[in-house]
Amino acid sequence: MITLAAGLRLPTNGLDYAILALYFLVVLGIGFAARRSVRTSLDFFLSGRSLPAWVTGLAFVAANLGATEILGMAATGAQYGVAVVHWYWIGAIPAMVFLGLVMMPFYYRSKVRSVPEFLLQRFDRSAHLLSSVLFAFAAVLIAGVNLYALSIVVEALLGWPQWVAIVVAGLFVLAYITIGGLSSAIYNEVLQFFVILAALIPLALLGLKRVGGWDGLTHALTTAHGGNFLTAWGGTGIGQANPLGANWLTIILGLGFVLSFGYWTTNFAEVQRALSAKNLSAARRTPLIAAFPKMFIVFLVMIPGLVAAVLVPKIGAPDGLQYNDAIPYLMQELLPNGVLGLAVTGLLAAFMAGMAANVSSFNTVFTYDIWAKYVKTGRPDAYYLRFGRLITAIGVLASIGTAFIASSFSNIMGYLQTLFSFFNVPMFVVFIIGMFWKRASMKSGVWGLLAGTTAAMVNYFWIYKQGVISIPTDQGANFVSAIVGFVAGALVMVVVTLFTEPKPQAELAGLVYGTTAPGLEEPPAEGDDAWYRKPALLGWGALVLAALCYLPYSL
């Protein structure tokens, strides 16, 4: 079970609840303001492709600031130390840059409304339908993670029953998405981004002050856990034992390539924000702009985790605080009223941002890729707009139902990484081969997707869980499952391609690297050619900066 210690209760007062109430009112106000711009289904699902890059960029990173980022990564820092930086500097930045520089031109120029719709154009209807169903299922499961984690935190810290927290948060997300569509979700995610920062920055600074600054923190952790706890790569040689249960090869291939690229380049909950940008330049810059705050947010979740590891020497022990308690414990111990209310609001905002991202992507995929393509085709646009609002409500209700599936996993991060290895990695291998290999046949897409998903699940549930091969931790097993899913999907695609017909060359224009489709090029908008807006500069700058960030923690 994912639980927090029963003794964790926040000394909240009227000021804290007033801040929380004000936040909820602003959220609903943004929803009503966005409603005026929703006239068509494209407005509802993709903001009419009209948003500026800075808005979509902040929404892109905020959509990822859910349960994984706040509780999960702080827990990972408390458990594994500085190794948590891998999930950011190698496990996010390279993939975000690849999405912006290489993949967004394919997505945006093809005018697809979702990630699965791209597979329809590149492969066939069977690949499209399977990817749509798998994505919709995964989106509901991941939205449920955020709801479940939120309910556990609210029950422990504020004393609200779990079901109350789940229902209240679910209804607010349902309200502002149903009212204002994706624009409401995105503008609220921009607000949530700053609220989350306002909550985490005081927590990290006050935590450092409590343990005697960075020097006091590093001294205490080195004494208690050894020097490798404060290095990114210490103890990760092949054959060496380390708390993470992974070596440098599985970290680079499993996390840095397969899981990372699978998540950031094909997860529609993220890509949808870029597709809502006003032009191709803004769409490409969306993940590149997001990469810069992403690489530094790690300090705001890692430092509280490290501080908790010092203040609670037996953290993680069966009879003590658990790793998931790191953030709530510091909130209880360090924050005064007012700031405490802001922190609670930031925590709730993080969960709601993660849930809203998945719900808004779920309603788009279900409406466009399943309902409009295979159930009710050729209906007026107003019909799909009404259905989109209806399926949003159904998605929220389904998320409430799946929230408790997360309770069978001992670590939020582990659960989400498991889902990514099952669903995102196989989709990534189909995308990457389809985009870079013209010969990949129409039928190879569905069989590669099916093989990759099946192989990842078999590796996790049978080879790992049944002890056929010993893998030290869930995290290590997820890295291996991702690699297995990727390799299996790629091999099956190659074999199927050898025995089936390729897609006609004329139908691949604009869908495969090195091909162009007439009429899809667009001149840059005024100002987009400024040197500081060049996607290549932003992308390579992010990669260099992420590499430099490793230096202090690699010695």
Q: What is the pLDDT of residues 427-477, one digit of tens each?
A: 889 988 998 899 999 999 999 999 999 998 888 888 877 766 666 566 677
| Residue 21 is assigned to a structural domain of this protein | yes
Res 92: pLDDT: 93
- In the predicted model, is pLDDT for residue 526 greater than 70? no
CATH number for 50: 1.20.1730.10
How is residue 484 written in tokens?
A: 């297995």
Over residues 321-333, the mean pLDDT reads 82
Res 459: pLDDT: 86
Using CA atoms, how far residue 547 sits from 19, 100, 250, 541, in Å, is 39, 18, 18, 10
Listed range (19-28, 37-46, 269-278, 409-418) with the worst mean pLDDT: 409-418
Over residues 190-202, the mean pLDDT reads 88
- In the predicted model, is pLDDT for residue 172 greater than 50? yes
| pLDDT tier, 286 (very low <50, low <70, confident <90, very high otherwise) | very high
Res 67: pLDDT: 59
| Residue 483 is assigned to a structural domain of this protein | no
Res 144: pLDDT: 80
Over residues 385-410, the mean pLDDT reads 79
SS3 165: helix
- In the predicted model, is pLDDT for residue 527 greater than 70? no
Over residues 206-222, the mean pLDDT reads 92
Give the domain extent around 385: 14-241+270-410+530-553
- In the predicted model, is pLDDT for residue 514 greater than 80? no
User: Cβ-count burial of 530 within 10 angstroms (0-12 exposed, 13-18 middle, 19+ buried)?
Assistant: exposed
| Residue 513 is assigned to a structural domain of this protein | no
**Any idea of the CA torsion for 473, 474, 478, 481, to the nearest 10 degrees?**
80
- In the predicted model, is pLDDT for residue 2 greater than 50? no
pTM for the model stands at: 0.84
| Residue 246 is assigned to a structural domain of this protein | no
Higher pLDDT, 523 or 44: 44
| pLDDT tier, 361 (very low <50, low <70, confident <90, very high otherwise) | confident
pLDDT in tens, 119-163: 898 999 999 999 999 888 888 888 887 777 777 777 766 777 777
| Residue 423 is assigned to a structural domain of this protein | no
Res 538: pLDDT: 95
User: Nearest to residue 79, comparing CAs of 405, 420, 475?
Assistant: 475
| Residue 512 is assigned to a structural domain of this protein | no
Over residues 166-174, the mean pLDDT reads 78
- In the predicted model, is pLDDT for residue 519 greater than 70? no
Count how many domains the chain has: 1
| Residue 6 is assigned to a structural domain of this protein | no
What lies within 8 Å, CB to CB, of 539 at 6+ separation is 97, 100, 101, 288, 291
Higher pLDDT, 344 or 485: 485
CA–CA separation, 37 vs 348, rounded Å? 27
pLDDT in tens, 29-83: 888 888 887 888 888 887 778 888 999 999 899 888 765 678 788 888 888 888 8
Listed range (20-24, 239-243, 319-323, 330-334) with the worst mean pLDDT: 239-243
Listed range (107-111, 188-192, 348-352) with the worst mean pLDDT: 348-352
- Does an H or E element contain 188, and which? helix 162-210
- pLDDT, the chain, mean: 84
Over residues 92-97, the mean pLDDT reads 95
Higher pLDDT, 109 or 208: 208
Share of the chain above pLDDT 90, in %: 27
pLDDT in tens, 19-42: 888 988 888 888 888 888 788 888
| Residue 220 is assigned to a structural domain of this protein | yes
- In the predicted model, is pLDDT for residue 3 greater than 50? no
The CA angle 161-31-345, to the nearest 5 degrees, is: 40
Res 555: pLDDT: 59
- In the predicted model, is pLDDT for residue 224 greater than 60? yes
CA–CA separation, 452 vs 416, rounded Å? 17
Over residues 490-515, the mean pLDDT reads 88
What lies within 8 Å, CB to CB, of 334 at 6+ separation is 203, 206, 207, 210
- In the predicted model, is pLDDT for residue 1 greater than 50? no
How is residue 179 written in tokens?
A: 């009212």
| pLDDT tier, 17 (very low <50, low <70, confident <90, very high otherwise) | confident
Over residues 307-333, the mean pLDDT reads 82
Using CA atoms, how far residue 413 sits from 73, 211, 327, 371, 532, in Å, is 7, 26, 15, 32, 35
